[in-house]
């Protein structure tokens, strides 16, 4: 489904770019892995199974169905990019995400603050806290503007890796979603690794989604070099990934959302 086009590193930061093949494997990945994360299929099934027994009359059932059918289907590009990124990190790196961020959304048009990606990862036998940022860009410039500035990927990853207030916010969020679950032991191991290494030792990932753009290492090279210099001398690991999609941004949305709505 993906083919490596370039790879390089600076200290403990790597960057890699992949072409994505437009084949059945990719289409099934979008239809199943990405769509299920985007729509939180498992979570919505839990919600529906809890609510249906509470509706005991035909009138109540009609109102319940109206609510269930009102779920927003017009997903924003950032939400699709995040679901794609989490799904591919699960598939390619074995990352785990104890909680679907879609469940915390109180405004259907809002993105949650802190980090786009929050989870756990087994890095060569060591569980680590996984934090990351996702950017989607069709700008024909290398690198695109989403990689720069205070809202750019590099600055956001540096903030997560160096700002203890931001880090503790993410850890607190993760504790509440790992405690008393199957993920608790891995979280505990990852957190101990963090505090045993001067609050470093996390795994940072930046994912750049590039619909209908030709692969070019300049998308990641300068930003990867900067991150490598920032975290040189620490045990924090950073990985930048670019995925060059074989279609337009509008097709990316159609594949993720589906045509059955």
So what's the pLDDT on residue 23? 96
Q: How does residue 260 score in pLDDT terms, banded at 50, 70 and 90?
A: very low
Q: In what order do the strands lie in the sheet with 203-211?
A: 2-10, 13-20, 237-245, 203-211, 126-136, 117-123
**How far is C-alpha 251 from the chain's CA centre?**
20
Of 91-95, 96-100, 207-211, 220-224, give the lowest mean pLDDT range. Answer: 96-100
So what's the pLDDT on residue 194? 98
User: Cis omega before residue 129 (within 30°)?
Assistant: no
Residue with tokens 């979603």: 177
Selection from 260, 255, 229, 218 nearest residue 17 by Cα: 218
So what's the pLDDT on residue 109? 46
Residue 20: both structure tokens together: 């994505």
| pLDDT over threshold 80, residue 27 | yes
147-190 tens-digit pLDDT: 999 899 999 999 999 999 999 999 999 999 999 999 999 999 99
Selection from 244, 243, 240 nearest residue 154 by Cα: 240
| pLDDT over threshold 60, residue 104 | no
So what's the pLDDT on residue 105? 55
| pLDDT over threshold 80, residue 76 | no
Sign of the Cα pseudo-torsion (141, 153, 115, 9, in order) = positive
Q: How does residue 195 score in pLDDT terms, banded at 50, 70 and 90?
A: very high
| pLDDT over threshold 80, residue 253 | yes
So what's the pLDDT on residue 102? 61
**Structural domain boundaries of the chain?**
2-39+75-257
Q: How does residue 44 score in pLDDT terms, banded at 50, 70 and 90?
A: confident
- Segment 2-20 shows an average pLDDT of 98
**Reported pTM:** 0.89
So what's the pLDDT on residue 107? 43
Q: How does residue 75 score in pLDDT terms, banded at 50, 70 and 90?
A: low
**What mean pLDDT is reported for the chain?**
91
Question: In angstroms, how far apart are the furthest CA atoms of the chain?
Answer: 65
């Amino acid at each position: 489904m993906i083919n490596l086009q370039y790879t390089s590193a600076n200290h403990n930061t790597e960057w890699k770019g992949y072409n994505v093949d437009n084949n059945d494997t990719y289409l099934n990945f979008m239809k199943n892995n990405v769509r299920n994360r985007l729509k939180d299929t498992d979570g919505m099934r839990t919600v529906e199974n809890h609510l249906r027994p509470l509706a005991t009359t035909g009138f109540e059932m009609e109102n319940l169905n109206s609510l269930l059918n009102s779920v927003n289907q017009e997903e924003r590009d950032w939400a699709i990019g995040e679901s794609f990124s989490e799904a591919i990190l699960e598939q390619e790196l074995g990352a785990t995400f104890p909680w679907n961020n879609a469940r915390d959304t109180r405004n259907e048009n809002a993105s949650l603050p802190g980090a786009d990606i929050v989870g756990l990862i087994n890095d060569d036998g060591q569980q680590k806290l996984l934090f990351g940022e996702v950017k989607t860009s069709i700008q024909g410039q290398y690198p695109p503007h989403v990689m720069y500035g205070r809202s750019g990927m590099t600055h956001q990853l540096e903030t997560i890796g160096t700002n203890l207030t931001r880090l503790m916010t993410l850890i607190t969020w993760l504790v509440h979603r790992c405690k008393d679950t199957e993920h608790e032991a891995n979280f505990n191991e990852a957190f101990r690794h963090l505090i045993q290494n001067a609050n470093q030792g996390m795994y940072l990932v930046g994912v750049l989604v590039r619909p209908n753009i030709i692969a070019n290492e300049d998308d990641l090279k300068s930003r990867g070099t900067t991150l490598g210099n920032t975290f040189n001398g620490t045990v924090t690991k950073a990985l930048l990934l670019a995925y060059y999609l074989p279609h337009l941004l509008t097709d990316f949305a159609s594949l993720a959302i589906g045509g059955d709505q």
